[in-house]
Amino acid sequence: MGFQTGLVLAVSTVAAYSTHIFATGHMNSMIFPTIFVLLGIGVLYLSSMQLCTKRYTVAALHPMEKLAFIYSWDVPCYALTLIAMALASGWPLFC
């Protein structure tokens, strides 16, 4: 699962940079540090989802049941954490 998380984040990073470069024709230096913030948020979110699936393995056997438990109990806390991290990192300044 860790390899899959890293692969998803790496592909997302390459896609974001290539979309920016192809759209504008040059590399904006203000966009370079934002990827580290987004990678940190992505690692936090995906690793916490991985831990949640391990926690609910005993309670639910089907993957959809696990997702139902995760989305009903754990996602509101993670969503508030991600919003707080994005706001604390200065995310509105980059928009």
Nearby residues of 44 by Cβ (< 8 Å), 6 or more positions away: 81, 82, 85
Q: What is the pLDDT of residue 94?
A: 55
Longest dimension (CA), the chain: 51
CA–CA separation, 76 and 21 (whole Å): 35
Number of structural domains in the chain: 1
Walking along the chain (95 residues) 10 residues at a time, the average pLDDT comes out as 74 80 77 74 78 80 82 78 73 56
Domain that holds residue 48: 2-94
Q: What is the pLDDT of residue 16?
A: 77
